[in-house]
Chain A
Amino acid sequence: MTYIAKPKVAHPGLPRNKLGLTSRDYEGTVSTLCAGCGHDSVTTAIIQAVFELNIEPHNLAKMSGIGCSSKTPAYFVSQSHGFNAVHGRMPSVTTGANAANRDLTYIGVSGDGDSLSIGLGQFVHAIRRNLNMCYIIENNGVYGLTKGQFSASADIGSKPKKGMANQQEPIDSVSTALSLGATYIARSFSGDKEQLVPLIQGALLHDGFALVDVISPCVTFNDHEGSTKSYAHTRQFYHQVVDMDYVPPAEELKVAYDDGEAMPVELHDGSKIVLRKMDKRYDPTSRASSFKYLRDHFNRGEITTGLLYLDESRKEMHDLMGNVDTPLARLPLESLHPGADELRKILKRYR
Chain B
Amino acid sequence: MTLKRSVSFIAAAAFSLNAMAWQPSGKVECIAPSDPGGGWDFTCRSAGNVMRDLGLIEGTVQTINMAGAGGGVAYAHTVSKRAEDDKLIVAASTATTTRLAQKQFPGLDADMVTWVGALGADYGVIAVGKDSQYENLNQLLDAIKQNPKSVKFAGGSARGGWDHLKVLITAKAAGADKLPAIPYLSYNNGGEAMTQVVGGQVDAFTGDISEVTGFLSSGDLRVLAVLADERLPGEFSDIPTAKEQGVDAVGPNWRGFYMPKGASSDSKAFWVEAVDTLYASEQWKKVMKANGLIPFHPPADEFDSFVEQQVQDIETLSREIGLLK
A and B bound? no
- On B, residues with C-beta under 8 Å from A are none
- On A, residues with C-beta under 8 Å from B are none
